[in-house]
Amino acid sequence: MRAGTFVELGRVVCLDQPEPTPVDGDLVVRSELASICGSDLHIVMDGVGGLPPVGADTAGREVIMAGSRTSAWPGYPGHEGIGEVVESHHPDFVPGDRVLCAPDMSVAQCFAEIQALPARHCHKLPDSDVSPAELLMAQQLGTVIFALRQDPVDVTGKNVVVLGSGSAGQFHTYMMKRMGADKVITVDPVATRLEVATAMGADVVIDASVVDVREAVAAETGGRGADYLIEAVGRRDALLQTTELAGIGASMLWFGLPDSNEPVPIDFNHFFRKKLRASSTYGAQNEGDQSSFRSALGMIARGEIDVSQVVSHTLPIERIEEAMIMAHERTDGARKVSISFD
């Protein structure tokens, strides 16, 4: 099979790899689409979590080898996918079912043409006129819904700042406005992403490449700062900035995966004297009832949220290395970059 293969720091390439062997409870899924997540970029480009084990293929190239579920294999670290069940070892699924694949990192293999995934990480696609590329966005939206459920917050009538307008930031922007925020302020250095944030409900967008973000947020909040702040970037500098932008008594959600294995700095003086609260969450893929992903699929399928502008590029699996670079460097107006297996 064709598989995106993590060969070294900064590189995922398409190679011929052996198909995985399913176990009881698995679904064998033929991939149609996969998407590149910001956490994929941190793993591949920044080495967050450490590099996975490697071996050598028959040509002597250093590649990730198929193996047990305690190590990496072809398709890693892809964890956003859509495909068709071709073999089922679980009573709730039959061949022909089309599913959203949302595995945790211990079994992530969505960059592979054939996946063998535990059925709990697969969700049947609803009947809908919405395109598969848009339904695929339910994985990212599901993680946002999960995070907001873990630490519920009332933002009715409040000023909310969302740092970052990648797909996670876009969906946080949408959810904040849906939950009743008075003013949603979305911050990003990429103009094309800010255009999408406006469509998602942002009342104010701040281009971090041209203005002082702290001054702009202060101006938009009457000098008070954010009542609620979401860091959806996953960068050390953005995390450090959160305590500057938050107002006295504010709550913060540190959503983004860190971009380093090293300790991330925080201004505890600001945190302490402003009486701030912060939370973080991880592991939507292992939610007991998987209701967050199902909710996301339903919202997109019913047209409650238009995610069409979030998806910007789709490249074939043979060009996954180019796709990774495009997503990382945000070239050509890249927002959400997907991979096809046609």
Taking the model in full, what pTM does it have? 0.91
Instruction: Check whether 53 has a pLDDT greater than 70.
Output: no
Count of beta carbons in the 10 Å neighbourhood of residue 14: 19
* Best mean pLDDT range from 19-23, 41-45, 106-110, 213-217: 213-217
pLDDT for the residue numbered 52: 53
Is the domain 152-280 a CATH 3.30.160.20 member? no
Overall average pLDDT of the 49-60 stretch = 47
What span, in angstroms and rounded, lies between the C-alpha atoms of 18 and 294?
31
pLDDT for the residue numbered 150: 94
Tell me what percent of the residues of the chain surpass a pLDDT of 70: 93
Question: Would you place residue 67 in the very low, low, confident or very high pLDDT band (cuts 50, 70, 90)?
Answer: very low
Count of beta carbons in the 10 Å neighbourhood of residue 135: 22
Query: How does the average pLDDT of the chain come out, rounded?
Result: 91
Q: What residue segments make up the domains of the chain, in order of their start?
A: 2-139+290-340, 152-280
What SS3 state is found at 341?
Answer: coil
Distances (CA, A) of 7 to 13, 52, 65, 115: 7, 9, 10, 19
Q: What is the pLDDT of residues 104-128, one digit of tens each?
A: 988 999 999 999 999 999 999 999 9
Overall average pLDDT of the 33-53 stretch = 83
In total, the chain counts a number of residues equal to 342
Question: Would you place residue 9 in the very low, low, confident or very high pLDDT band (cuts 50, 70, 90)?
Answer: confident
What span, in angstroms and rounded, lies between the C-alpha atoms of 29 and 168?
26
Helix (H) or strand (E) holding 212: none
pLDDT for the residue numbered 261: 85
What span, in angstroms and rounded, lies between the C-alpha atoms of 142 and 292?
5
Residues 6+ apart with CB under 8 A from 68: none
pLDDT for the residue numbered 133: 95
Instruction: Check whether 56 has a pLDDT greater than 60.
Output: no
What SS3 state is found at 278?
Answer: strand
Q: What is the pLDDT of residues 201-246, one digit of tens each?
A: 999 999 999 999 999 999 999 999 999 999 999 889 999 999 999 9
pLDDT for the residue numbered 66: 38
Helix (H) or strand (E) holding 24: none
Instruction: Check whether 62 has a pLDDT greater than 90.
Output: no
CA nearest neighbour of 217 among 163, 270, 264, 171: 163
Overall average pLDDT of the 188-206 stretch = 96
End-to-end CA distance of the chain: 13
Four-point Cα dihedral 47, 312, 17, 86, nearest 10: 130
2-139+290-340 homologous superfamily: Medium-chain alcohol dehydrogenases, catalytic domain (3.90.180.10)
pLDDT for the residue numbered 257: 84
Q: Using CB atoms within 10 A of its CB, is residue 92 exposed (0-12), middle (13-18) or buried (19+)? A: exposed
Question: Would you place residue 71 in the very low, low, confident or very high pLDDT band (cuts 50, 70, 90)?
Answer: very low
Question: Would you place residue 48 in the very low, low, confident or very high pLDDT band (cuts 50, 70, 90)?
Answer: confident
Question: Would you place residue 50 in the very low, low, confident or very high pLDDT band (cuts 50, 70, 90)?
Answer: low
pLDDT for the residue numbered 330: 87
Tell me what percent of the residues of the chain surpass a pLDDT of 90: 80
